Amino acid sequence: MHPALIRPPAGGFPFGETALCHEQDDVAVDFSVVRQRAGETLARADDKECAWLLLDGTAEARAGGLRASLSRASLFHERPSVVHAGPATEVALIARTDVEWLLVRATNDRSFAPRIFLPADCQSEPRGQGLVQDACLRVVRLVFDLGNRPESQLVLGEVINLAGRWSSYPPHHHGQPELYHYRFTRPQGYGHAELGDEVLKVRSHDTVKITGALDHPQVAAPGYGMYYAWIVRHRPNDPYRGFTFAPEHAWILEGSDPGYQPKELL
């Protein structure tokens, strides 16, 4: 198996925490999937910055003096809720139903106030509209970055990749390490993730590590919507501020050339 591809456990993620990446690895974050049973309370004060992204279920979240009821039934049709806390901040998650979270942790010497991001707090925008026959139209969601959480060592968001179309396109790259974690509209769904000149087949619950400033466009197989959470780790004295498009494909951004169109369908 490719070293950048992390498969889920056979049989799926069990209840409890399943660690997928560690901060000493090349992506420089701790990354886990956490599943709670209904009625279970998880309380902890991490020694690192942490972000809990709700994938599914209903829970009450507490962070510092904040409290909120969170619920999510669809990754594809609902924006995320996220509990974001600095080091040594007490976080409590009380599961009202079975719940699934993504947990991201990173060392951070700064102290900052916790925040619970509700769906209305998350930016969501279509990208790629009107470019090359809408072949790279997708929805990009941003929870936080330098703009609204300047003390953080992380950037966190989601992409909804339309069936049969591309995202992270035209191809782009950046120097900071990144993670993608995937889900699909059907369990047999799949897509392809590029890492430079290499191509990985990705399925539901897979995770891909993106390092080395490689271009990393994505494509979903026709018929299957593809979701991925994306996590960027700021580098020391080099925070993530955006990406650079591959120059040979930058013409696509001009929007005036639709690209190849057949004169007739055979």
User: Could you tell me the CATH number of the domain that includes residue 209?
Assistant: 2.60.120.10
Q: What is the DSSP letter of 235?
A: B
Determine the pLDDT at residue 76. 99
What is the token pair recorded at 140?
A: 């990009």
Determine the pLDDT at residue 162. 99
Could you tell me if 139 and 166 are in contact, meaning their C-beta atoms sit under 8 angstroms apart? no
pLDDT tens-place string over residues 83-102: 999 999 999 999 999 999 99
3-state secondary structure of 121: helix
Determine the pLDDT at residue 264. 85
| Structural domain count, the chain | 1
Percentage of residues in the chain having pLDDT higher than 70: 100
pLDDT category, 236, cuts 50, 70, 90? very high
Q: Is the pLDDT of residue 266 over 90?
A: no
- The whole-chain average pLDDT of the chain stands at 98
pLDDT tens-place string over residues 134-170: 999 999 999 999 999 999 999 999 999 999 999 999 9
Looking at residues 195-223, what average pLDDT do you find? 99
The answer to whether position 213 is within a domain reads: yes
Which sign does the torsion angle of CA 137, 196, 235, 117 carry? positive
The answer to whether position 33 is within a domain reads: yes
The answer to whether position 205 is within a domain reads: yes
DSSP assignment of 64-90:
TTEEEEEEES-TTTS---EEEE-TT-E
| Strand ranges, E, within 153-246 | 154-161, 166-167, 172-173, 178-184, 190-195, 198-203, 207-210, 218-220, 226-233, 244-245
pLDDT category, 256, cuts 50, 70, 90? very high
| CB atoms inside a 10 Å sphere around CB 184 | 26
pLDDT tens-place string over residues 103-127: 999 999 999 999 999 999 999 999 9
The answer to whether position 5 is within a domain reads: no
3-state secondary structure of 142: strand
Q: What is the DSSP letter of 249?
A: G
106: left (phi over 0), alpha (psi -120 to 50) or beta: beta
The answer to whether position 254 is within a domain reads: no
pLDDT category, 63, cuts 50, 70, 90? very high
Determine the pLDDT at residue 101. 99
Q: Is the pLDDT of residue 184 over 70?
A: yes
Residue type, 126: P
Could you tell me if 161 and 138 are in contact, meaning their C-beta atoms sit under 8 angstroms apart? yes
| Closest to 75 measured CA to CA, from 167, 186, 154, 219 | 186
Residue type, 108: N
DSSP assignment of 178-200:
EEEEEEESSTT-EEEEEETTEEE
Determine the pLDDT at residue 229. 99
Looking at residues 173-193, what average pLDDT do you find? 98
Q: What is the pTM of this model?
A: 0.97
Residue-range definition of the domain harbouring residue 122: 12-236
The answer to whether position 222 is within a domain reads: yes
Determine the pLDDT at residue 192. 99
Residue type, 155: V
pLDDT category, 265, cuts 50, 70, 90? confident
The answer to whether position 212 is within a domain reads: yes
